[in-house]
Structure 1
């Protein structure tokens, strides 16, 4: 059943909801300012993310909410090069079936792109998108398939770049490293990445400790990590389980221990630091490898202003969340590509051609300048589509993620060196 309702805000917008499909369409508020007599057709895109609850679930609802907020803002500015931006959103439900359903709905609605989305089920959604010729711009990087599909245009290097960068960040500080990682196929790739970085700095390889992702206690793994680290470092990349691991670790760690802890964006973020005590949290002093500048960097000011003005107090949107940040960057890419096309009608095929021919995207310092020509890609078999293999080094100071090193660090060499097929 389909119905219409209005936003209860000072800027009424038209919303089309589809209860059965869990999708939402945001269009502009009346005629798009700056459009020339309606000569430029609207651009319809989709953003999906899981909006779920439960101990084992992933909830990234802030990404879809950020997409809707971006649409309100850009349409009030006149749209994208005169094109009204229409955003469909879909609850991916953190399941393969949900991801596939969202992708099929994107194809049914003939969207020009899927933008700034999250899914761990790349195989389920990429096949329908490829069949329909729809580009996937700026996914979170939660699926390895995003870095191999010819219609995927990632804005970061995903977890592989983070783990490779974490090894380089730790190599500058740690004589020895204990790595605690998931007992999964993805987890099995992590020692190679981190050890390649360590060996490039003549450090010994890490002590590899596999662990379940969603355990309620990690006492056994924490004891092993503490014993093997000596006076070096312990890094844990366990997703949602990372906070639980470091709770176990701190209970076992002797007072005055010299061991330093570390992790990567997505396993540790500002939200987890705040929830675990801020400056009194176990993460004080931790080294963290990220994709983008630290949350307090001035490069995020425009995004924060847009959220303050156009999110209408939507508490799902956390400007310090990497999912929200990735969505903002992905829509920045969409805007730049549509403006470069300068076409009356924007199609999925046209966007893909523009990206493949080298459309450049300046994200205002949130990433290096992005483009997706063949020569811009890392090109190794597992990471063929990565064009941004740069990371940032951060440290937790007084309960805040802050920059530990100015600028970006390129880990392309590590990604290539860790590929057994290279």
Structure 2
């Protein structure tokens, strides 16, 4: 075999993506991949996990593994990563600690070189097996605090902490008073200090702190308290999936004249939720939303959109406006940069970690600042020792679409450090 590739139609490529056993191999009709006969470079095997079949009260992020498989189909048709065929294994984490641990042990058994672009709230369950095997965790969603302290974690965003700190900066521009509704959990307990650090730095009073259960069917009591304490200012809620339920309660109690502005962060509110709740008539119309990346309609996402259209055109699990899908795309961009920088015939987990630690530079095309994970690039706080990207974006819901509220990125790295010292 010569290693030359024949082209195949987008429809055939899409069919192969859906039917390939590992979700990552392009076979007959689409040409020879690196790693085949006549090519000395070994395949690169990675894993992506997320809750794919989660129950009604759990997080569902099936688009992330689907995006990983789609990325592999696309990059392999281009000749792989640095001449290496990319093989993607996926695992249904199930939104449970047992599921996260099972996926991590499977990654170890399969000798993957990295876990890439994944979602799990159970960092303690999955990071211990990965650390024991020396497997790096690249570009997790940021759903577990351990992702920002483990020496083998390489996050591409600042997680929920950065969003909350950024939300304070966004609200400080136009809100005289703020009420914060957040979960009554250990993670939730860190939110008031993050929000208040940004508010008080801008001369605003600290937010009124309201705790709430994560999985309630109604938040009438919290909504009434938030409406009263905001005093015509702003109400921000960071309750994950419960955010929709809270604002449904708030809408029934709140004024219809828009005198109280609502707000949240991506992950609690996103374009799919806005679309599902009425678009232009959504209760989120006019809301401030803090995110990690540029708005989903930004031209910088066009390559990702093109890949999805070509290789996953009828896969309704992959929504290019979903933050999880976007995070997986960025994480695989990191993997590509690292493997290409190593330029070796065999890629290992240890080699990937060494390359990242030595400062491989990752340009994500403007979707994030340039990423590097040297010691000098970290935020510098014990609680967030692995954050290398402490920047966020300000968005607003206008005519049913999340659009830019302020151009460019806003750095909250200093806020993360100061809030931790104050807390």
Same fold by TM-score, threshold 0.5 exceeded?
A: yes
Hey, what does 1:27 align to over in structure 2? 25
Structure 2 counterparts to residues 396-407 of structure 1, below 5 A? 396-407=397-408
Contact 1:33/1:77, CA 8 A, preserved across alignment = no
Hey, what does 2:392 align to over in structure 1? 391
Structure 2 counterparts to residues 296-315 of structure 1, below 5 A? 296-315=297-316
Structure 2 residues without counterparts, runs of 5 or longer: 1-9
Q: What's the TM-score once normalised by structure 1's chain length?
A: 0.94
Structure 2 counterparts to residues 209-358 of structure 1, below 5 A? 209-358=210-359
3-state SS of paired residue (1:407)? strand
Deviations 1:47-102 (Å, cap 9, x if unpaired)?
Answer: 00011243211110100000000000000000001100000000011111111111
Contact 1:115/1:136, CA 8 A, preserved across alignment = yes
Cα distance in 2 for residues equivalent to 1:28 and 1:420: 51
3-state SS of paired residue (2:364)? coil
Q: What's the TM-score once normalised by structure 2's chain length?
A: 0.94
Cα distance in 1 for residues equivalent to 2:207 and 2:148: 26
Contact 1:117/1:138, CA 8 A, preserved across alignment = yes
Contact 2:279/2:400, CA 8 A, preserved across alignment = yes
Deviations 1:175-201 (Å, cap 9, x if unpaired)?
Answer: 100000001111010000000000110
Structure 2 counterparts to residues 357-368 of structure 1, below 5 A? 357-368=358-369
Cα distance in 2 for residues equivalent to 1:308 and 1:232: 42
Cα distance in 2 for residues equivalent to 1:70 and 1:47: 11
Structure 2 counterparts to residues 6-405 of structure 1, below 5 A? 10-11=12-13, 12=16, 17=21, 24=22, 26-29=24-27, 31-32=32-33, 37-405=38-406
Q: How far 1:131 moved relative to its partner?
A: 0.5
Cα distance in 2 for residues equivalent to 1:416 and 1:126: 24
Q: How far 1:157 moved relative to its partner?
A: 0.2
Q: How far 1:253 moved relative to its partner?
A: 1.1
Deviations 1:263-288 (Å, cap 9, x if unpaired)?
Answer: 00000000110111101111111000
Cα distance in 1 for residues equivalent to 2:395 and 2:233: 18
Structure 1 residues without counterparts, runs of 5 or longer: 1-7, 18-23
CA RMSD of aligned residues (A): 1.7
Cα distance in 1 for residues equivalent to 2:17 and 2:173: 52
Q: How far 1:379 moved relative to its partner?
A: 2.0
Hey, what does 1:21 align to over in structure 2? none
Cα distance in 2 for residues equivalent to 1:13 and 1:63: 14
Are the structure 2 counterparts of residues 16 and 133 from structure 1 closer, same or farther at C-alpha, using a change threshold of 3 Å?
Answer: farther
Hey, what does 2:4 align to over in structure 1? none
3-state SS of paired residue (2:210)? strand
3-state SS of paired residue (1:81)? coil
Contact 1:286/1:396, CA 8 A, preserved across alignment = yes
Contact 2:149/2:385, CA 8 A, preserved across alignment = yes
3-state SS of paired residue (1:239)? coil
3-state SS of paired residue (1:175)? coil
Q: How far 1:39 moved relative to its partner?
A: 1.2
Are the structure 2 counterparts of residues 303 and 16 from structure 1 closer, same or farther at C-alpha, using a change threshold of 3 Å?
Answer: closer
Segments ≥4 residues shifted beyond 4 Å: 13-17, 33-36
Q: How far 1:257 moved relative to its partner?
A: 4.3
Cα distance in 1 for residues equivalent to 2:258 and 2:90: 48
**Which has the higher mean CA deviation after the structures are superposed, 239-248 or 31-40?**
31-40
Cα distance in 2 for residues equivalent to 1:54 and 1:126: 24
3-state SS of paired residue (1:408)? strand
Deviations 1:350-377 (Å, cap 9, x if unpaired)?
Answer: 1000000000000001000000000000
Cα distance in 2 for residues equivalent to 1:231 and 1:290: 24
Are the structure 2 counterparts of residues 310 and 13 from structure 1 closer, same or farther at C-alpha, using a change threshold of 3 Å?
Answer: closer
Aligned residues: 409
Cα distance in 1 for residues equivalent to 2:306 and 2:414: 37
